[in-house]
């Protein structure tokens, strides 16, 4: 017998990569933080109705298949947990989900999507800075926006904030071997659609950031960067010469391809920073590798400027009917992602 929705959605969201038949209930992560993540991401702010419905469905499961029923247990559907639960296990399962649902609601109320610890374990929650909560909430809210509302524009002030934040991104030796192209020109944006394998985000978005790497990184560029650091930190001119020589030794020992690859890695970090900045501002974005760099370079006249496009980030506001906005966020549970050593 299949479980009813939304309980069935919750169960399938909590499935880990493990094969269901292999680990039984262990193949599911019903921890509060995971349930909180489901409530938050798939349903926005959970309504009393959803929570009431989930509790009714759990109660129904107990009545029909738990210890008080005349059944021998619950045979879960092939697409759910794919195993037989004895009546005692049904009660246990329902109790676990119900209890953790309560914890999940508390977590969501505090917006504390942090690692849950069983009762009795000291909690680190109270030491979590406020920003941490807002940040996780913003990252839960964001998604790769497929369809932008072409009528909505990001304000000039927000664009500047995103650019400033992106410019604060970390880079190897602080050399920033990249630049960001800001495109706010509909006819140019439309030209980029073909070069983006038909992805219309680049045309509909309010602005498009193209992350380009510099192909002219040489010893002079590195010396200049060291001189800027000396000036910014009030050092004597030449004080960082040794450091500059070390950087030159490292970066200039790469061949062209390796240097491009090194610069591209730095651009990816900047992309992540830009995406996080957008999320914090409630602005949508779509990270994109799905484009033809050679065509972008040609359309944007990049080669003559010693630049090469590596990543694209359309930004704007999601269209109401963007189907991607309706999908639950899919991430492996923290327990699977984090290897805690010691």
C-beta of 64 vs 137, nearer to ligand FMN:
137
Q: Which residue is nearest to ligand FMN (CB)?
A: 290
Residue from 114, 207, 286, 315 touching ligand FMN (CB under 6 A): that is 286
Pairing of strands 207-214, 178-183: antiparallel
The least distance separating ligand FMN from the CB of residue 309, rounded to whole angstroms, comes to 13
Q: Which segment (111-119, 120-128, 241-249, 282-290) binds ligand FMN by CB under 6 A?
A: 282-290
Find the shortest distance in angstroms from Cβ 241 to ligand FMN: 37
Residue from 290, 294, 298, 336 in contact with ligand FMN (CB under 6 A) = 290
- Rank residues 31 and 199 by Cβ distance to ligand FMN and give the closer one: 199
For ligand FMN, the closer CB: 33 or 270: 270
In the bound state with ligand FMN, the residue whose beta carbon lies nearer, of 27 and 285, is 285
Instruction: Report the residue number, 19 or 330, with the smaller CB distance to ligand FMN.
Output: 330
For Cα atoms 234, 240, 244, give the angle at the middle one, nearest 5 degrees.
140
Residues binding ligand FMN: number (CB under 6 A):
10
Rule CB under 6 A: say whether 266 interacts with ligand FMN: no
Should residue 259 be labelled a site residue for ligand FMN when binding is judged by CB under 6 A? no
Q: CB neighbours of 257 closer than 8 A, spacing ≥ 6? A: none
Distance separating alpha carbons of residues 332 and 329, to the nearest angstrom: 10
Smallest distance from ligand FMN to CB 129, Å: 23
* Residue 288 found at the interface with ligand FMN (CB under 6 A): yes
- The DSSP bridge partners found for residue 315 are 207, 285
The per-residue b/e assignment along 102-127, b for 16 or more CB within 10 angstroms, e otherwise, is ebbbebbeebbbbebeeeeeeeeeee
Residue 261 lies near ligand FMN (rule: CB under 6 A): no
With beta carbons less than 8 A apart as the criterion, state whether 302 and 206 touch.
Answer: no
**Sign of the CA dihedral with 305 first, then 309, 311, and 313 last:** positive
Residue 199 binds ligand FMN, judged by CB under 6 A: yes
To 5 degrees, how large is the angle CA 317–CA 209–CA 168? 105
- Which tokens in the block code for residue 281? 């501002």
3-class state of residue 80 by DSSP: coil
Please state the closest distance from residue 41 (CB atom) to ligand FMN, in A: 9
Cα–Cα distance between 50 and 46 in angstroms, integer? 6
Closer residue to ligand FMN (CB): 62 or 318 = 318
| Residues within window 137-196 making contact with ligand FMN, judged by CB under 6 A | 143-144, 146
Cβ count near 232 (within 10 Å) = 8
Binding flag, residue 329, ligand FMN (CB under 6 A)? yes
Do residues 134 and 242 make contact, with C-beta atoms less than 8 angstroms apart?
no
C-alpha closest to that of 166 among 318, 313, 317: 313
289 is a contact residue toward ligand FMN (CB under 6 A): yes
Based on the shown chain and the rule CB under 6 A, indicate whether residue 325 belongs to the binding site for ligand FMN. no
Give the three-class secondary structure for 194. Answer: helix
- What does the block give as tokens for 52? 């009431």
Candidate list 4, 73, 132, 287; residue touching ligand FMN; CB under 6 A: 287
Residues 6+ apart with CB under 8 A from 55: 98, 101
Least spacing, CB of residue 9 vs ligand FMN, in Å: 18
Nearer to ligand FMN, 64 or 329 (CB): 329
Using the minimum distance from each CB to ligand FMN, give the nearer residue, 92 or 324.
Answer: 324
Q: How far is the CB of 312 from ligand FMN (least distance, A)?
A: 8
**Residues with Cβ within 8 Å of residue 39, at least 6 apart in sequence:** 46, 50, 104, 105, 108
Catalog residues that contact ligand FMN under the rule CB under 6 A. 143-144, 146, 199, 286-290, 329
């Amino acid at each position: 017998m299949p479980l009813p929705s939304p309980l069935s959605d919750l169960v399938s969201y909590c499935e880990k990569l493990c094969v269901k038949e292999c680990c039984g209930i262990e193949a599911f992560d019903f921890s509060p933080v995971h349930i909180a993540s489901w409530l938050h991401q798939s349903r926005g702010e959970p309504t009393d109705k959803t929570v009431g419905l989930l509790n009714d469905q759990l109660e129904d499961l107990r009545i029909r298949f738990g210890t008080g029923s005349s059944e021998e247990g619950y045979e879960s559907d092939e697409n759910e947990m794919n195993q037989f639960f004895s009546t005692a296990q049904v009660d246990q399962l329902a109790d676990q989900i119900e209890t953790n649902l309560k914890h999940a609601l508390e977590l969501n109320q505090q917006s504390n999507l942090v690692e849950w610890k069983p009762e009795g374990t000291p909690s680190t929650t109270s030491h979590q800075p406020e920003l941490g909560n807002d940040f996780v909430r913003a990252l839960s809210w964001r998604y790769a926006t497929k369809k932008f509302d072409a009528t909505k524009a990001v304000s000039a002030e927000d664009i500047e904030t995103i650019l400033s934040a992106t410019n604060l991104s970390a880079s190897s030796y602080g050399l920033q071997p990249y630049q960001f192209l800001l495109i706010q020109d509909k006819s140019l944006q439309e030209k980029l659609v073909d070069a983006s394998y038909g992805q219309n985000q680049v045309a509909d978005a309010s602005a498009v950031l193209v992350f380009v790497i510099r192909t002219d990184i040489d010893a002079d560029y590195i010396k200049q960067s060291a001189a800027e650091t000396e000036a910014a930190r009030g050092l004597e001119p030449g004080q960082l010469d040794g450091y500059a020589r070390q950087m030159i030794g490292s970066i200039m020992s790469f061949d062209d391809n390796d240097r491009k690859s090194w610069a591209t890695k730095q651009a990816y970090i900047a992309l992540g920073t830009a995406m996080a900045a957008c999320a914090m501002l409630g602005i949508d974005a779509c990270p994109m590798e799905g484009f033809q760099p050679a065509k972008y370079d040609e359309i944007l006249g990049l080669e003559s400027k010693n630049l090469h496009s590596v990543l694209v980030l359309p930004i704007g506001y999601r269209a109401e009917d963007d189907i991607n906005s309706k999908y639950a966020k899919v991430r492996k549970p923290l327990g699977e992602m984090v290897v805690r050593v010691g």
